Structure 1
Amino acid sequence: MNDLQSDATLESSNRSVHYLLAALLSLLTSQVSTISHTDKPPENRGSQIEQAFRVLLQRHFKTWKQPAQYAAELAITVAHLNDTVKGLTGYSVSSHIQQRSMLEAKRLLYTTSLSVKEISYQVGYEEPVYFGKLFRKTTGLTPLAFRKQFRD
């Protein structure tokens, strides 16, 4: 193998490691955030709502895709949940749900040989075409392009 091929292979490997570490750090951050917030009482009601939402999201992101499901569990309106979460994090409830689902999809694309259709079902999307469009919208790549770029 010549030097150019070696450099390209090394660069591809470095990128893959970088993205895997970024995904791992994101997962760890959400876990640490959950742990650190449960050790001390939140300062106000908004923080309590946001933290409870994060716990529910971690447990139910594969099956609960609608903000109304989280709001109902928290016994508040969807508008109040969204206003609170967006005010504290800068992102809507729907955005958090999508981002968590896409993070899991990236993990599965990288670590398994499941088809895109199977991954779509695994992360809670019954329409693989919709899943593919959402994945591309949030990551800039199709699921297969993501797998090819970061696994090969």
Structure 2
Amino acid sequence: MAVLQEAGRIALARAVAAQPIYLAWGRGRPEWDAQGIEPEPTNAGGLVDEIGRRMHTSIGYVLPAQDGEIELPDRSRYTTSATPTKWLHVRWTFDFTDAAGETVRELGVFLGGTQVPGLPAGQRYFTAAQVATPGDLYTLERHEPFKRAGGTRQAQEFVLPF
């Protein structure tokens, strides 16, 4: 049986880090609020009802560390690494107006993808209508709904393992 090697995992992380990584948020299904959230499938191609997506703000390599400065909701901790590793720390900082007033029930990390032609140079947030091809869905998370407030600068971060 072939076993994926550490060097191969690092090569995958470097290849992913070299492309745009987007965090998309979606409305999901309003009935989840009363009936419970549908479990995340492993073969989804996109969100149920995408609102928009933002290109990554920062990307870096990390290593697991008990006293690491990066803490995730599952209480796992990581520290930054100057050399490539098999873990990518990706952060997205949304503008105040991105999806203001929307109810968000799901998040998806997309690798690659394209936007419709003719958008302003330097644009980093894209509504669902501005996405030509979504890219590959790396991870999908459904959660309790939250309302996007225009007075809050929303930030999200994930550690992507390879």
TM class by smaller structure: under 0.3
Higher helix share: 1
User: Higher RCO, 1 or 2 (CA under 8 Å, sep at least 6)?
Assistant: 2
TM, length-normalised to structure 2: 0.25
Higher strand proportion: 2
When normalised by structure 1's length, the TM-score is: 0.26
